[in-house]
Amino acid sequence: MNQLESRIQRELARLREIGRERSLSSSLVQGARMRFEGREVLHFASNDYLGLSFDSRVREAAQIASMRYCAGATGSRLISGNHPELVMLEAELASWHGAEASLVFSSGYAANIGVISALAQPEDVIFSDELNHASIIDGCRMTRSKVVVYRHADLEHLYRLLRETRCQGQRFVVTDAVFSMDGDIAPIGDLLGVARRFEAVTVLDDAHGVGVLGTKGAGTLESLGIPVADDIVVIGTLSKALAAQGAYVAGRRILIDYLVNRARSFIFSTGLAPSCAGAARKARKIAEHEAWRREKVLSLSAVLRAGIRKLGYLVLDGSTTIVPVVVGDEHNVMEMSDFFLKKGVYVPAVRPPSVPEGQCRLRLCVTAAHETSDIERVLAIFGEWKQIAHNDYLVTSLVKGGERR
């Protein structure tokens, strides 16, 4: 075996030894049900928050766009891939957010690395929340700017770092609007206040807020009544509540013109396929007009959060569709997830590197495709687990898991 292979083998063996080797399972989500490893289960595992990915209107829109135009975009947007479906989608996204313009990327990952690396120059400083999504972290790594990490949602810490860090260029504050593993919302109103004192531009990744929050579903900023301004760059995904694939940036026209010229993950990547753009357009329209979907998923999430907490588990504070139950220990969280699966419910366990060491958790995502009876069913299993697990162990694991805050 060559050197590379033996190195790879060593690394896989190491992951296996510490119980962290990951592998793919066959899965197919259809609403609140899912085929998982050949079994039909109830699940709390998808980001399809409004239940639109399985909606026949959205799937039909994908089909129609595909038949009207073509299956793939055939090239980079700057060469041949700028089909009409994308142009219409961008206009609709911009007006939804009250922004001058928007630009679609092929994924949220591509949008974050493309935007951050295009905007931040070597003389700039980026201030980044410690729990930001991996794509933001990678975007920061691709710049030659100084990157300063502030404690999660800690605005005093952010303020101090902004004051203490010398910067000869532009300051940026980058944050998830809704944190993907914790489900809490960044203190955006006050954060903008702090950022503005230092003339910093705020980049907000609203992957989990778009479609779910706000009267029109335009996301976290809309829900807080904060208009998109020239010192805010909003990034949203088409792959979560909007049921398709891809992502976008919304902001000033001049910003979008610049990204078209400078965002490498935009320039050197094929445009989003017509089917995805068509599906996203339809889902966005439905998301805007069927407010009951947002109301339903948020109220089911609140019932679930309160119910699990009442049973004595540590549920992180939040008001979104993401309900994290912190268990702490890696072995315990896997055992719990297996227990749920045996009962016919798939509840994914999240472990490092997705969360910090010692903070393993079950992460339940509620969708508008769930019903009250589904919530009751999973709550009953949490109750059963509590009976089975020694109370001692439940308590210590909770205390351990709760150390961070």
Ligand X SMILES: *Cc1c(COP(=O)(O)O)cnc(C)c1O
Q: Tell me how far apart the alpha carbons of residues 38 and 149 are, in angstroms, rounded to a whole number.
A: 43
DSSP calls for 21-76: ------EEEETTEEEETTEEEEE-----TTS-TT-HHHHHHHHHHHHHS-SS--SB
CB of 106 to ligand X, least distance (A): 8
3-state secondary structure of 351: coil
* Strands lying side by side in the sheet with 247-251: 101-105, 247-251, 232-237, 201-205, 171-176, 125-129, 146-150
Instruction: Tell me how far CA of residue 36 lies from CA of 43, 243, 279, 342, 369, in angstroms.
Output: 9, 20, 25, 12, 17
Provide φ and ψ at 87, rounded to 5°. -65, -45
CB of residue 350 to ligand X, shortest distance in Å? 12
Which residues contact ligand X (rule: CB under 6 A)?
A: 107-109, 112, 133, 135, 176, 180, 205, 207-208, 237, 239, 247
Structure tokens at 168: 């000869």
Cα–Cα–Cα angle for 94, 88, 246, rounded to 5 degrees:
75
Of 113 and 394, CB closest to ligand X: 113
Q: What is the residue-wise DSSP string for 89-154?
A: HHHHHHHHHT-SEEEEES-HHHHHHHHHHHH--TT-EEEEETT--HHHHHHHHTSSSEEEEE-TT-
User: How many angstroms from the chain centroid is the CA of residue 1?
Assistant: 40
How near is the Cβ of 9 to ligand X at its closest, in Å?
A: 30
Q: Which is nearer to ligand X, 120 or 177 (CB)?
A: 177
- Give the residue with the Cβ less far from ligand X, 107 or 359: 107
User: Which is closer to ligand X, CB of 167 or CB of 210?
Assistant: 210
Give the nearest distance from C-beta 319 to ligand X in angstroms. 17
Q: How far is the CB of 102 from ligand X (least distance, A)?
A: 15
Residue in 337, 301, 350 with CA at minimum distance from that of residue 322: 301
Q: Which is nearer to ligand X, 238 or 378 (CB)?
A: 238
Nearer to ligand X, 179 or 313 (CB): 179
CB of 107 to ligand X, least distance (A): 3
Residue nearest to ligand X (CB): 108
Cβ contact 277:77 at 8 Å:
no
CB of 135 to ligand X, least distance (A): 5
Q: CA 1, CA 4: separation in Å to the nearest integer?
A: 8
Query: In this complex, which beta carbon is closest to ligand X, that of residue 90 or of residue 176?
Result: 176
Closest contact distance (angstroms) between CB of 132 and ligand X is: 8
Bond into 187 cis (ω within 30) = no
Q: Which is nearer to ligand X, 73 or 381 (CB)?
A: 73
Q: Which is nearer to ligand X, 81 or 219 (CB)?
A: 219
Task: Tell me the Cα Rg of the chain.
Answer: 22
Q: How far is the CB of 237 from ligand X (least distance, A)?
A: 4
Q: How far apart are CA 108 and CA 86, in angstroms?
A: 16
